[in-house]
DNA sequence: CCGGATCCACTGGGATACTG
DNA sequence: CAGTATCCCAGTGGATCCGG
């Protein structure tokens, strides 16, 4: 049988097999980095409910700066998660939309988010205990 | 029905509901941050196959510095993902082990890692196309 | 409307040396 | 063996102003 631990072992193996000359980074790590970026997941999740235009996203994600919005969208596009379509209207409008790859990522992301939501109480308790001991 | 998109909507809602006075960070974001940290996931996955002592971990994760190993383990412990047990032997030994919470995290993490492994080809293709266009 | 360009503060994380 | 303590640098990400 292939349980979670086998995945773990395989992951560790692949990681350590990755070249350390740092020209290439372990593929999985690149994905984890994306997840760790401040706005990537929020944008992917926002786009999950349908395509948006640039300023629509600004409104729906109020705290993001336009620089970070542009930059994150570019990154997601480069990753193949988001497609960018320019409509030659006046004024111009640009539509951002999840690609199939992007939509497929919602599933594992959803698992992680669900886990986080369900277990945050325990995390908070652990942290409080840790800080009290220290 | 509750598909992935409902999770997405709920996540976005919670995110935006989080206070912006930055004293408290959205719980899910804290977990995503952890995932994004350079060594957290690798250590969790390494510990998935059983408890380890400090220097065992150093050997199994050759590229980590002792500073980052200590720091990451502390963080994971504070998060409630890892337990630390000191045995009063001579020389002293310390055992790190996944808590139940830590073990439960392997599952969603496994989903994400599997997705990354399976889809990296497509990501690489997209990136190559993007860079060629630019 | 959709960005690009610039400046800057903060911090994650590596190298190195030392200790109970 | 299992850490601490310092120094230091590169990169992330925010604010602001400018352009097509």
Amino acid A26: pLDDT:
86
Q: Give the distance from residue B92's alpha carbon to the nearest chain A alpha carbon, in angstroms.
A: 21
**pLDDT bucket at B117, cuts 50 / 70 / 90:** very high
Considering only CB atoms, A35 lies closest to which of B32, B123, B130, namely B32
Measure B57 CA to D3 C1' (Å).
14
**pLDDT bucket at B81, cuts 50 / 70 / 90:** very high
Per-residue CB contacts under 7 A with strand D, chain B residues 77-96: 84, 91-94
Amino acid B9: pLDDT:
82
Amino acid B45: pLDDT:
97
Q: Record the tokens describing residue B42, joined without a space.
A: 């690798």
Whether B55 sits with its Cβ under 7 A from any strand D atom: the answer reads yes
What is the per-residue pLDDT across B38-70, written as a single tens digit (0 to 9) for each? 999 999 999 999 999 999 999 999 999 999 999
Amino acid A68: pLDDT:
97
CA-CA distances (angstroms) from residue A99 to A105, B51, B122, B133?
10, 41, 11, 18
Amino acid B30: pLDDT:
95
Query: Which residue is closest to D2 in terms of CA–C1' distance?
Result: B54
Task: Show residues of chain A in contact with B114, CB under 8 Å.
Answer: 7, 108
**pLDDT bucket at B97, cuts 50 / 70 / 90:** very high
pLDDT at B16 over 90: no
* DSSP state string for chain B: ---HHHHHHHHHHHHHHS-TTSSS--HHHHHHHHHHSTTHHHHHHHHTT--EEHHHHHHHSTT--HHHHHHHHHHHHHTTSEEEEEE--SS-EEEEEE-HHHHHHHHHHHHHHHHHHHHHHHHHHHHHHHHHH-
What is the per-residue pLDDT across A54-105, written as a single tens digit (0 to 9) for each? 999 999 999 999 999 999 999 999 999 999 999 988 888 999 999 999 999 9
Whether A125 sits with its Cβ under 7 A from any strand C atom: the answer reads no
What is the per-residue pLDDT across A2-57, written as a single tens digit (0 to 9) for each? 456 667 788 888 787 765 544 577 889 999 999 999 999 999 999 999 999 999 99
Amino acid A63: pLDDT:
92
Amino acid B10: pLDDT:
82
Whether A78 sits with its Cβ under 7 A from any strand C atom: the answer reads no
Query: Which residue is closest to D15 in terms of CA–C1' distance?
Result: A65
pLDDT at A130 over 70: yes
pLDDT at B19 over 70: no
Whether A29 sits with its Cβ under 7 A from any strand D atom: the answer reads no
Closest residue in A to B24 (Cα–Cα)? A124
- Within 73-112 of B, beta carbons closer than 8 Å to A belong to 77-80, 99, 101, 104-112
Nucleotide in closest CA–C1' contact with A39: D13
Q: What angle do CA A112, A64, A104 make, to 5 degrees?
A: 35
Amino acid B1: pLDDT:
44
The reported pTM is 0.91
pLDDT at B107 over 60: yes
Return the residue in A17, A28, A59 with the most chain B beta carbons within 10 A, the one to mutate for interface testing.
Answer: A28
Nucleotide in closest CA–C1' contact with A95: C2
């Amino acid at each position: 049988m292939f349980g979670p631990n086998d995945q773990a072992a395989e992951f560790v193996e692949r990681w350590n097999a990755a070249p350390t000359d740092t020209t290439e980074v372990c593929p999985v790590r690149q994905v984890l980095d994306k997840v760790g970026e401040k706005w990537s997941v929020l944008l992917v999740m926002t786009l999950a409910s349908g395509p948006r235009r640039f300023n629509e996203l600004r409104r729906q994600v109020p705290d993001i700066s336009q620089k970070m919005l542009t930059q994150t969208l570019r990154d997601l596009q480069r990753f193949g998660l988001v497609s960018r379509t320019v409509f030659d209207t006046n004024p111009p409008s640009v539509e951002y939309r999840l690609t199939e790859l992007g939509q497929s990522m919602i599933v594992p992301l959803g698992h992680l988010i669900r886990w986080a939501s369900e277990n945050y109480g325990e995390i908070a308790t652990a942290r409080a205990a840790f800080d009290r001991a220290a």
